[in-house]
């Protein structure tokens, strides 16, 4: 049952990600991206990363995806579900390059003897992550908060500037 | 199926699809979606190595993935502000049409 669920989630992630990069309708791509992000959250659940799964749903699906859809809506005169976009003329070349990269990485994956340590997964990761963020990773945490503040101020300034 | 290799394989597929999107799309927002796919592929790797590498008491992979999500949020906000500015200046969001340095 668990293996079936894992296979379903993996298939959903790959299928929707393929849809994101191949469909010509931007809103469809955004909805497919939502499927991919939910699927990745499901993979986190299978990896015993409960806090990350919740963060993925809240920040990616609830924040970044909404931002992306706003971006689509704000940059097109026609507001509808059929907002089209065209592709670069280098599609076959890109497909060949990506396919070669995919074959190379897959060969690397199956030829490497991965050393797997079999440690028992923890039941809840929230406590460990919270303690680590405020002790060992405190500096990184503060720097990340400053980065967010600067990025959001900069984004607001860039988007609201009147004279280009 | 629930092994390190299967997670790494999903991550490889996500990364390659994201790279394909970044290379072939002309619309800035669609390129941003490809970048998000690549970042998610990296995050799956971090968490999978954390799970199967025996680091289940300190969780450095989870912390790293959290910071990647923070960075992705900042990157999406700035990228969309730039794209909206681009649209105001050039009336297009196709990245290959905006090639004048002073519009």
Distances (CA, A) of A1 to A5, A41, A162: 6, 18, 57
pLDDT of A80 strictly over 60: no
Residue A87's pLDDT is: 67
Taking only residues 52 to 91 of chain B, the set having a beta carbon closer than 8 angstroms to any beta carbon of chain A reads 52-59, 62-63, 65-67, 69-78, 80-85, 87-89
In this structure, what token pair is assigned to residue A48?
A: 């015993």
pLDDT of B8 strictly over 90: yes
Residue B29 CB neighbour total at 10 angstroms: 27
pLDDT of A154 strictly over 50: yes
Contact A85 B26 (CB under 8 A): yes
Percent of chain A past pLDDT 90, that is, above it, reads 51
HEC string of B54-93?
CCCCCCHHHHHHHHHHHHHHHHHHHHHHHHHHHHHHHCCC
pLDDT of A82 strictly over 60: no
In this structure, what token pair is assigned to residue A45?
A: 């659940």
Tens of pLDDT, residue by residue over A102-134, are: 999 999 998 988 887 777 777 788 989 999 999
As a whole number, mean pLDDT of residues B13-33 equals: 91
Domains located in chain B, CATH noted: 4-90 (1.10.287.3510)
Comparing CA positions, the residue from B50, B66, B93 lying closest to residue A58 is: B66
CB-CB neighbors (< 8 A) of A73 in chain B: none
Q: Considering chain A, what is the average pLDDT of its residues?
A: 86
Tens of pLDDT, residue by residue over B57-92, are: 788 899 999 999 999 999 999 999 988 888 888 777
Residue A164's pLDDT is: 47
Domains in chain A: boundaries = 1-86, 123-164
pLDDT of A40 strictly over 70: yes
Contact B63 A72 (CB under 8 A): no
Residues 6+ apart with CB under 8 A from A107: none
Contact B74 A151 (CB under 8 A): yes
Contact B62 A46 (CB under 8 A): no
Tens of pLDDT, residue by residue over B41-61, are: 999 999 999 888 877 778 889
Residue B64's pLDDT is: 93
pLDDT of B97 strictly over 60: yes
Give domain A1-86's CATH number out of 3.40.190.10, 1.20.120.1200, 3.30.750.24, 3.40.630.30. 1.20.120.1200
pLDDT of A61 strictly over 60: yes
């Amino acid at each position: 049952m668990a293996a079936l669920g894992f296979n379903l989630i993996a298939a959903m992630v790959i299928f929707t990600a393929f849809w994101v990069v191949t469909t010509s309708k931007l809103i469809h791509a955004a909805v497919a991206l939502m499927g991919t992000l939910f699927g990745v959250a499901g993979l986190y659940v299978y990896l015993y990363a409960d806090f990350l799964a919740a963060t993925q749903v809240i920040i990616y699906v609830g924040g970044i995806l909404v931002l992306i859809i706003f971006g689509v809506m704000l940059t097109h005169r026609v507001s509808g579900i059929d907002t089209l976009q065209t592709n670069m003329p280098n599609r076959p070349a890109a497909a060949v390059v990506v396919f070669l990269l995919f074959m190379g990485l897959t060969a690397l994956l199956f030829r490497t003897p991965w050393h797997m340590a079999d440690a028992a997964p923890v039941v809840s990761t929230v406590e460990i992550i919270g303690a680590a963020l405020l002790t060992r990773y405190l500096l990184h945490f503060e720097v990340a908060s400053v980065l967010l503040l600067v990025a959001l101020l900069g984004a607001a300034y860039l988007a609201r500037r009147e004279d280009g | 199926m629930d092994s390190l290799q299967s997670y790494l394989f999903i991550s490889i597929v996500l990364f390659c699809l994201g790279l394909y999107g970044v290379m072939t799309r002309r619309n800035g927002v669609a390129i941003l979606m490809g970048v998000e796919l690549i970042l998610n592929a990296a995050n799956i790797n971090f968490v999978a190595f954390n799970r199967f590498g025996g680091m289940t008491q300190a969780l450095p992979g989870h912390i790293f993935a959290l910071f990647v999500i923070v960075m992705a949020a900042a990157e999406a906000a700035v990228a969309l502000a730039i794209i909206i500015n681009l649209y105001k200046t050039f009336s297009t969001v196709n990245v290959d049409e905006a090639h004048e340095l002073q519009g």
